Structure 1
Amino acid sequence: MTTPVTDTPQPAQGEGGFTAWRYALDLSPGEQRRCLDVQRLHQLVLQGWRPPHLRTAVPAPAPRVLYAARRSPSTREEETGHRVAGRPITLLVQAATPADWQPLLDERILTGIRSRQSSHTVTPGERVTVRVIANPSKKIPRKAGRTSLRTPEECGTWLRRHLNDALSIQPHDVFVGDAERLTGKSGTLTFTCRELQARGTVQDPAALYALLDQGIGPTRAYGCGLLRIHAPN
């Protein structure tokens, strides 16, 4: 049985630390194929916060939800040579309030879940490593829309800028993964994601907690922006 939506206190954020609910969701093989469409993947995640009496209606508003997908190996399009993201196998989902995944287990959309309350407390001067699947991009001048950044140097600068208030990071402490294309709306929605990693020194714990809670960058609705943090013992 999964954690119910009600009767569980909401984790608190603040100066003392960051706490949230985190879930690892294993998708069935059929759902992995269907969720190559990032819009379907987004709707699947929101179902964890749909009250039972609305199971067949429009989902109720969900709390702020961030998630990231562990995917099968990417492939390359023959025509363009672009690297295309593989099927989502497992989702890491984070929110401030608990979810109920039991209906998706009953329907065999999910084949397993693991849940826990994740807590982080850091101090100024502490060295930490952060990882994120993100969509490094910039606005197109005088147009509506954004364009993905192309070079590792641009993407590394983008990450450092987003983390600047919380962490002090040197350029050589940033790792930038290969670009992978994600699509939705039958191919009409297309954007690029990368796995980014940085090691830095904590400057402002409260600013870091806010980034953990809110995520970074655009396309957070489609599996980008969830920060994962590791502090060595």
Structure 2
Amino acid sequence: MFLTRFRVNTARPGARRLLSSPQVLHAAVMASFPGLLPSEMPAPDGPRVLWRLDQSARAEVLLYIVSPDRPDLTHLVEQAGWPAAATDPETPGWQTKPYAPFLDRLAAGQKWAFRLTANPVHYIRRKPDEPKKRTAHLNPVHQMAWLLDRQKDRGFRILEKPDSKRLLPGGTTYKKHEHFGDQYELTVRDKQGLSFDKSRSDDGTRKKPVTIVTVTFDGRLEVTDPAALRRTLTQGIGKAKAYGCGLITLAPLTGTE
């Protein structure tokens, strides 16, 4: 497994095209692997190519990729990087590191800061006689509940705030229509509604546009099951993984995340 970081040069027209559509960026990411055929589907329970866009307060846009194979991002450098600076073999325009040494060091009880961009959804039916339909969670409380409901099986638990950091006495717990308040070391931000065209079908007709809602979670967690967390870090969480969702990354706790 490999972890890759690529800084996007947002001043270039190619970058703006890539950033305008998750479908286009997905195709560019998948083109980074010479041995991967376009028709190949990842095994349901195996490692897969995951990616995520992060934008910092300094207006930097970073593309993170987790993949079973080492990528070649030369085409991304040419379209959306700094090609002249990348002529130095020591600085090809992206950074890739083996991920396995980090994954192997994960142990129960460790605490980390984390980030996840995800597509929180649930299944509902509006009428008793109609099939259930996948629908996005739009409320931050429900989005937070979506992640909390998945933490146990994914090998971690999201840390709770100490009483001294809570604005509400004792915090609150999610049960049906109750709210979380500020019980957890978890924030939900950057909700986006994305709608974009998918590639045409084999007969040339246009497919129905893809519509997803994404949010970014920032928080702190404790490792409860290292093996399960390794699977989570390499397989992702939730739906829409092809469109920049599901990749969770960890960082050391510094007190200033």
Summarize the Cα distance change of 1:221–1:27 in structure 2 as closer, same or farther, 3 Å threshold. Answer: farther
Name the aligned partner's letter for residue 226 of structure 1: L
- The yes-or-no answer on 1:113 pairing with 2:94 is yes
Query: Matches of residues 15-30 of structure 1 in structure 2 within 5 Å?
Result: 20-27=2-9, 29-30=12-13
Query: Matches of residues 6-21 of structure 1 in structure 2 within 5 Å?
Result: 11=1, 20-21=2-3
Does the 8 Å contact 1:50/1:60 carry over to 2? no
- The yes-or-no answer on 1:168 pairing with 2:147 is no
Secondary structure of 1:92's counterpart equals strand
Once the two structures are TM-superposed, the CA of residue 40 in structure 1 deviates from its matched residue by 0.8
Partners of 1:38 and 1:88 in 2: how far apart? 18
Q: Kindly provide the CA deviation profile for residues 186-226 of structure 1, in whole angstroms up to 9, marking residues without a partner as x.
A: 79222111110232222111111110010101000000110
Taking only the aligned residue pairs, the percentage that are identical comes to 27
Does the 8 Å contact 2:8/2:15 carry over to 1? no
TM-score, with structure 2 as normaliser = 0.66
Greater alpha carbon shift after TM alignment, 61-70 vs 175-184: 61-70
- The yes-or-no answer on 1:156 pairing with 2:138 is no
Corresponding residue of 1:126: 110
Does the 8 Å contact 2:14/2:79 carry over to 1? no
Name the aligned partner's letter for residue 32 of structure 2: G
Once the two structures are TM-superposed, the CA of residue 173 in structure 1 deviates from its matched residue by 1.8
- The yes-or-no answer on 1:31 pairing with 2:14 is yes
Partners of 1:231 and 1:89 in 2: how far apart? 21
Q: Which runs of 4+ in 1 moved over 6 A?
A: none
List runs of 5+ in structure 2 lacking aligned partners. Answer: 43-47, 83-92, 161-182, 199-207
Summarize the Cα distance change of 1:184–1:127 in structure 2 as closer, same or farther, 3 Å threshold. Answer: same
- The yes-or-no answer on 1:140 pairing with 2:161 is no
Does the 8 Å contact 2:15/2:79 carry over to 1? no
Q: Kindly provide the CA deviation profile for residues 75-125 of structure 1, in whole angstroms up to 9, marking residues without a partner as x.
A: xxxxxxxxxxxx9943111102111222443x4344332222232322222
Greater alpha carbon shift after TM alignment, 110-119 vs 39-48: 110-119
Q: How many residues align?
A: 196
Secondary structure of 1:44's counterpart equals helix
Which of the two has higher C-alpha Rg? 2
List runs of 5+ in structure 1 lacking aligned partners. Answer: 1-10, 12-19, 74-86
Q: Greater strand share, 1 or 2?
A: 1
- The yes-or-no answer on 1:97 pairing with 2:97 is no
TM-score, with structure 1 as normaliser = 0.72
Once the two structures are TM-superposed, the CA of residue 27 in structure 1 deviates from its matched residue by 4.9
Name the aligned partner's letter for residue 69 of structure 1: L
Does the 8 Å contact 1:167/1:200 carry over to 2? yes
Q: What RMSD over aligned residues (CA atoms) do the two structures have, in Å? A: 2.9
